[in-house]
Structure 1
Amino acid sequence: MSIQTSPKKNILILGGSYGGISTAHYLLKNVLPKLSGPGPYEVILVSASSQALCRQACPRALISDDFFPQEKLFVDISSMFTKYPDGRFRCLHGRVTAVNHTKRVVSINLSSGQEESIDYHALIIATGASTPSPALGLNNDVPQLRSSWAAIRKVLPTAKSIVVAGGGPAGVETAGELGEYLNGPPRWLSSRPNPPKVDIKIVTSTTNILPVLRSEIAQTAEKYLAKVGVTVIRNVRVKKAEPSIPGEDKNDQIAVPTTVTLDNGQVLETDLYIPATGTTPNTGFLEEMLLAPDGRVETNRSTLRVEKAGMRVYAIGDASSFSRPTVHSIFQAVPILCANIKRDLLLSHGATEAETGEDSIFKEDTREAQLVPIGKCKGVGAVMGYKLPSFLIWLIKGRDYFLWTTVKLWSGEQWTK
């Protein structure tokens, strides 16, 4: 396997979702055109999927293709960058297998089956995180995601019971969407369908669902869930889930009857089991010395540099330890990250620190902030520490799970100064 070198300086971005795509657009629009000196630069984005997805929409999208325009839900990554000059941007469809931060080389297993190694002048790690259920995120590529949705949709018409593990937003939203779809929309005067057509349970290890939000908001969410036939089991974890089809192939086990054993000894027999207990950072290709204890890339929370990896290496998004894994943190961080990349590129050309100025500093907004739709007409949440009424949750997120925001994001319009 040869190392690809060229007279261009490669700015390599690993990951084709919010962090990676936003960083690429910002650099191409606002940083590289303003740089003088040695060059030219080429931005190379590496993505395991050729398409980007609005991941927040998965709890509703997994039920039916009719809920969202598919051409907006899935967007080809290469098409997002056609406006830039030839030779300035390149997209590679493949999976990163290793980063040698000493030699400054990244190894990639391309979708064609070929292996490629590329040297980098700057590296941005934005590989995100994988969901425990393949139906709740783009863990690999679009065909595999659609296959998991198809398996779930096949079971829904005959399902009598569903167990969702996890009381965070993904679990609550998934249970709420399934409850409304299968048991009908909430009735004005009824606290719960009697009896519900499908028994849906959320299992959470915490005292309240949605632990990021205050208990008052979580209790309101539980009332909304009850109206669509969802029951919450608190303070207990799933000890094991045994699908009726044994084996190693998880794709065959996505939507099959499952025996769920809780750590208090309770056993739940269910027609459909959906794990939604957090995410796993996509950082297995990195050396352990670069990782924080939780598996994310150990990142300077102020500058977004990965200091242990050498010069001009950065991380952003769910794979990075720079903040809580939220989309709004990514959007706040992108301009800071790119300003520091610009500064480091200028310094590498021989500029002085007096000429480049000081680092830009990221400060995480730690105020209460989370929006959680529950079905198509209800929701709970807070922004900047302020509780929002259900109507505003619907208006901002519940209508289409932020799909209205992705047009400007994917096109790069969001980062036009």
Structure 2
Amino acid sequence: MTDPLEQAKARFLEANAHFEAGRLADALHSFQAALSLAPGRPSILANLGITQVRLGQWAAALDTLAQATQADPSNRDAWLALAHAQEELQQWAPAVQALQQALPLGPSTAALWLALARCQLRLERPAEALRAYEEALTLDATLAEAWSQRGSLLRDAGQLAEAARSFQQALKHGGDDELNRFYLASVTEQPVPERPPLAYVETLFDEYANDFQNHLVQALNYQAHRTLLAPLVESRARFSRVLDLGCGTGLCGQLIRPQAETVDGVDVSGAMVAQARASGVYRQVVHGELLAFLRASTEPADLVMAADVFIYVGALEAVFAAVRQRLAPGGCFAFSVELADAGQDLVLLPSLRYAHGGAYVERLANATGFRVVRRWEAPLREDQRRPVMGLYFHLAPAE
């Protein structure tokens, strides 16, 4: 009778041949057969777990690689594969631990430091993430992703000149042109981009969606929605159709719904749209860009609202013109903007938000056929416990 260990060795070698040839399903089957003949064998566990990672079988890989690293803590490939699976399952802290176990077991690589930086970033550990990005760049100075992320961390820390250099390096080494030029403009005196990259805004709010409402209202003391709509709520005005631009999870919609026959929303973030739809406040919520939403229909609205939305829009000429086309006679266009410094029209701040000047908004309102019904200054939210001031407007069609 053939020795089980010899059979296990044969199946193991067979599995390795399948793996090298890219036949991952066959490799998986053969590694599993080898393991059944030699339970707990570290080399089989490691290779099986790596194969499961390659196949995207994250949960199974997690179990297999935990056994492999326990059986042989010196197997660097097993630690790296374990960290990969943990990243995919958004288990950021265990992934950091696995990567830190892998580091002393072999030469440093830029890819390893990049993975560590991404996980530290997810854990909101900016100093550790910055160090990891810099280690990656020491090993490979052409990594556009590392330059771009380094720039963002330095921008958040107020080191604007060094952040600018990082974004310039990201552009030099093939980083996303639109995104890095947008970042660069936020920390330099370069011309202000008229609008942010759509992918940036969508990704930002997709990642923010699950904790958006709690974080915004509780941590940032967000009040723009209540401040903007307070005069309309107090007057008990009635609206046939309301358009909620950049509706998010539905904070404005919930406030105005008792006074409206229908409320329609639009948001660029699919995750936000899902939450707004689930609220039951809206007749419909469109996943898309607000300007396209405004232009897609001629059905009039008697209230168009945008609370703390234009900070992610930029130049407002096209939006104002589109709202004017949709707004019914006697209707109201209610919105807020973050307040720019005196004498400034449109500014891209290091926070990657736009600020607008009051004179700019009023000129634009007059040019597009509006009159100012109300204008007042009040906080929008807080940043590090300091109020962020905004301008609030209610416009009506000019007679």
Query: Which band: TM-score by shorter chain?
Result: under 0.3
The structure whose Rg is larger is 2
- TM-score under structure 2 length normalisation: 0.27
Greater strand proportion: 1
Greater helix proportion: 2
